[in-house]
Amino acid sequence: MSTLPDAHDVAAVAPPTPSAGPSLSMTADKAREVTSRVQAWMSHNVMGRDDVIELVLIALFGDGHVLLEDYPGSGKTTLANALGNAIDDDGHAEDKLPEFRRMQFTPDLLPSDITGVMMFDLESNTFHFRRGPVFAYVVLVDEINRTTPKVQASLLEAMAEKQVTVDNETHQLDDLFFVIATQNPLDAVGTYPLPLAQLDRFLFKIKMRHIARDAELEVLASWGKPRKATDLPKASRSEILATRRFIREEIVVSPHIHVALVDIARALRADKRVIQGVSTRSLVLAIPALQTLALLRGRDYVSPEDISDLAVPLWQHRMELVPGIDDASLVISDCIKPPLEALSRATLRG
Partner 1 sequence: MTATTANGLTGGADPQRTDDAAKRPSESRAVMGVKLLMALAALLFMLRPLTTTAGLVAAATAIVAAFVVARWAYTRGMRQPAAVVGGVAFSGLAWLLSNLVRDAGWLAGLLGVEGAIIASDVLLFGGALFGVLFTIRFLAQSGRLFTVIEALLIVFSVVYTFSDHRHLRLNQPRFFSDWALSNGIDPTVVLMGMGVTIMLLALVMFMRRQGGLKAILSMLFAIIVGVGVYLYIDDDKVQPAVLTNGLGLTSDEQSDNKDSQSNNDGQSDQNNDGPSGGNGGGDGDSPYKQNYDNSDKPKPVAVVAFHDDYEAPEGILYFRQQVKSKFNETHLAADGTYDHDVIDVFPQAASGSGPVAAAPSQNLDFHKKVPTSVYLIAQHPQPVALTHATELKPLDNPNSRVFTAAYGVTSHVLAGDMRRLLGRPSVPDEWTDEQRAHYLAVPDDPRYEALSDILVRDLDPRFRDDQLMKALVIKRYLEKEGYYTRTETHTDESDPTASFLFGSLRGYCVHFAHSAAFLFRSQGIASRVAVGYAVDTRKRSGGSNLLIYGSAAHAWPEIHIAGVGWVTFDIYPEQSDEPPTQVVDQDLESLLGEMAREDPTGGRADDPNKSPFPWLTILWSIIGLLGLLLLTSYGIKIWRRLKPRFGSDSGSHVWTLRAALDRLADVGITREHGETRERFAARVAETTPSLAALTSANLSGALGRGTDPRETSRIYDAVSSEFRDNVHWFRRLLGNLNPIGWAFTR
Partner 2 sequence: MEATLEKLRLSSLTRFIEPLRKAFDYVPLTPLGIVLGLVAWWGFFSFSETHADYVVRATCAVALGLIGLSVVLVGFGSLFLWWRTREAEGGVPETLATGVEAETSFSCSTLRFWPFLQVDLDWTDPTGMDVTSIRKRGRLQERVTPRSRGRFTSVERRFEVRDIFGFSAVRFRRRWEQPLRIAPTLGKADMELSVRRASSDGYSHPAGQPQGEMVEMRRYVPGDPMRFILWKSFARSRRLMVREPERAIAPRPAMVGFFVAARDDEPSASTARVFLERGLLGSDFVFLAEGAPRATNDRRDGVEQIIDSRKHRDTQADSLTSLFRTVDRARLDNLVIFAPPSRGPWLDKVLKAARQLPLPPMVIVTVDGAVTNFETRTRLSKFIWGEPPIDPTLTEVVDVVAALEQSGMEVKVLHRQSGHRLHDQQLHALRERQ
In the complex, minimum distance from the CB of residue 196 to partner 2, in angstroms, rounded to a whole number: 14
249: Cα within 13 Å, side-chain hemisphere = 11
Q: Which of 95, 123, 167, 187 binds partner 2 (CB under 8 A)?
A: 187
Q: How many residues bind partner 2 (CB under 8 A)?
A: 14
CB nearer to partner 2: pick between 190 and 226: 190
Part in contact with partner 2 (CB under 8 A); list of ranges 27-35, 122-130, 286-294, 317-325: 317-325
Q: Which does 330 bind (CB under 5 to 8 A by kind): partner 1, partner 2, none?
A: partner 1
121: Cα within 13 Å, side-chain hemisphere = 8
CB nearer to partner 2: pick between 255 and 323: 323
Distance CA 246, CA 124 (A): 43
Within residues 263-292, the interface with partner 2 by CB under 8 A covers 272-273
In the complex, minimum distance from the CB of residue 326 to partner 2, in angstroms, rounded to a whole number: 8
CB nearer to partner 2: pick between 91 and 190: 190
Name residue 101's amino acid: R
Within residues 126-185, the interface with partner 2 by CB under 8 A covers none
Q: Which does 299 bind (CB under 5 to 8 A by kind): partner 1, partner 2, none?
A: partner 1
**Does residue 322 bind partner 2 (CB under 8 A)?**
yes
Strands, DSSP E only, in the chain? Answer: 66-69, 87-88, 100-104, 116-121, 126-131, 138-142, 163-166, 169-172, 178-183, 204-207, 235-236, 274-276, 320-321
Q: Which does 190 bind (CB under 5 to 8 A by kind): partner 1, partner 2, none?
A: partner 2
In the complex, minimum distance from the CB of residue 329 to partner 1, in angstroms, rounded to a whole number: 11
Q: Which residues have C-beta within 8 Å of that of residue 276, sequence separation ≥ 6?
A: 196, 319, 320
**Does residue 95 bind partner 2 (CB under 8 A)?**
no
Are 288 and 247 in contact by the 8 Å Cβ rule? The answer is yes
SS3 159: helix
CB nearer to partner 1: pick between 320 and 327: 327
CB nearer to partner 1: pick between 110 and 275: 275
Give me the residues that bind partner 1 (CB under 8 A), please. Answer: 2-5, 252, 254, 256-257, 271-273, 299-305, 308, 322, 324-327, 330, 334-338, 340-341, 344-350
Instruction: Classify residue 88 as left (phi > 0), alpha (psi -120 to 50) or beta.
Output: beta
* Nearest of 105, 108, 127, 107 to residue 118 by alpha carbon: 127
SS3 281: helix
Q: Which does 144 bind (CB under 5 to 8 A by kind): partner 1, partner 2, none?
A: none
Are 69 and 205 in contact by the 8 Å Cβ rule? The answer is yes
63: Cα within 13 Å, side-chain hemisphere = 20
In the complex, the residues that contact partner 2 under the rule CB under 8 A are: 107-108, 186-187, 189-190, 192, 272-273, 322-326
